[in-house]
Every structure is written in structure tokens, then in C-alpha cells.
Amino acid sequence: MPQYCILFLFFLIFFSSSSHASVQDFCVADLKGPDGPAGYPCKSPANVTVSDFVFSGLAKGGNTTNIIQAAVTPAFVAQFPGVNGLGLSMARLDLAPGGVIPFHTHPGASEILVVTRGHITAGFVSSASTVYLETLKKGDVMVFPQGLLHFQVNAAKIHSSAFVSFSSASPGLQILDFALFANNLPSALVGQTTFLDLAQIKKLKGVLGGTG
């Protein structure tokens, strides 16, 4: 095949310039760089290896020995730089018996959930205040539209778990109770803007470490 080999050299020459233009197939995050509205700067392709595209942190569930008896383990761009710029990320939910992922939103992404163990009661509320509520079995999939309040509750007597995917590498996670009670927003202002009783507010501020 010696003739082929000579031709091969020509082949390489001509495509090498064009393939050079194609480096932005992906943009693995350089987390040290300043991020921008579209994500982090790209790690040099020369330094990218397969390990940038693989994440093992979801293999085990988080510790559920806590007030909610549940854990959210994220694989967002901050944990998994390979998703930078790809419009996708994941997380793992673990709910011990009685566990709850309380009301929360993802300001920048829709979410799709698949149950991998147990049963999970999940729900979201629309702008029209309609509730979409379902108890999901293993293998069931549910989608939560972007930015809407939703929650997940263990509906089994055993540990339940799920994988969730997001339509953004950086979906955000705003937990309602933390937003309302785990900061220094004055209790009176919380009351005025939520119609909750002051005693209720102060009680939850106490639990969640809020002041004011």
C-alpha cells in the first residue's frame, strides 16, 4: 500500500487546517477563569482528557441523616466541568423514609426526573396555581417546567432515589424555606410579603439560622 501512504500524507495536509478550526466541539470549564453569562472559559483542548467528561460523584447517594432526611447531590458545572456550555447537567436525589426535598425552584432550567428506587410523590404548581401531583414508581419519568415551584417526597417505606437532569449547565437551586428564613430579611418584611404569622416566621428563622 505504498501509494496509499503517500496519498495519506497529502490527505493530512489538507484537512489539518480545517480540523484546526473545529476545536469548539466542547468547552470544558476552566473553573479558575472568571465565568461569563454563557459559562466558564474553556480549558485548552490539549489538556482535555476523557476524565473531564466523566463524573463519578453520583454513584453514591448523599447523607440523609438531616432535618429533611434527604440529600441533593449536584453534577452542575461547578462539580462537573465537562458540561460547561452544553446546556445540560444532572443531580441525584436520595430520600430516606420520610424524606422530603422541600419546595424549590431552578431559576434557569427545566428538570426531568427518573425514579431509580422506591416511590416518590412529586408535584409542581403553575402560574395559574394549578397543582400537578403524581406518585411515581421506579422507572417513571416526570418533567418540571422551568422556574416553577416543585417538591419531591418519599412515598415508600424504603429509601427512594432518583436522577434528575436539567436544561442548563448551571440550573440554580432556590429552596423556598432558605430564601425566606435562612437570611437577615427582617421578620416584619417577611410577614408583609408572605402573609405568614410573625410567630411562624420567627420559629423557622430559628430553625434555619436566619436573623432579624
Looking only at residues 52 through 91 of this chain, which bind its own copies when binding is defined by CB under 8 A? 53-60, 62-63, 65-68, 70-80, 82-91
Q: What angle do CA 59, 65, 70 make, to 5 degrees?
A: 60
CB of 157 to its own copies, least distance (A): 16
Main-chain phi, psi angles of 58, to 5 degrees: -100, 0
Q: Residues 116-155 vs its own copies: string with x where CB under 8 A?
A: x----x-xxxxxxxxxxxx-xxxxxxxxxxxxxx-x-x--
End-to-end CA distance of the chain: 81
Task: Name the burial class of residue 69, with classes exposed (0-12), middle (13-18) and buried (19+) by CB atoms within 10 angstroms of its CB.
Answer: middle
159 makes contact with its own copies (CB under 8 A) = no
95 makes contact with its own copies (CB under 8 A) = no
Q: Please say which residue, 106 or 158, places its beta carbon nearer to its own copies.
A: 106
Of the residues 97, 157, 158, 206, which one makes contact with its own copies according to CB under 8 A: 206
211 makes contact with its own copies (CB under 8 A) = no
- How many chain residues interact with its own copies (CB under 8 A)? 147
47 makes contact with its own copies (CB under 8 A) = no
Q: How far apart are CA 180 and CA 145, in angstroms?
A: 22
Of the residues 97, 157, 158, 194, which one makes contact with its own copies according to CB under 8 A: 194
93 makes contact with its own copies (CB under 8 A) = no
Of the residues 27, 96, 120, 156, which one makes contact with its own copies according to CB under 8 A: 27
Q: Please say which residue, 44 or 158, places its beta carbon nearer to its own copies.
A: 44
CB of 196 to its own copies, least distance (A): 6
Q: How far apart are CA 154 and CA 98, in angstroms?
A: 6
To the nearest 10 degrees (0 to 180), the angle between helices 187-194 and 198-208 is 120
Q: Chain-centre distance of CA 177, in angstroms?
A: 18
Of 46, 164, 182, the C-alpha closest to 113 is 164
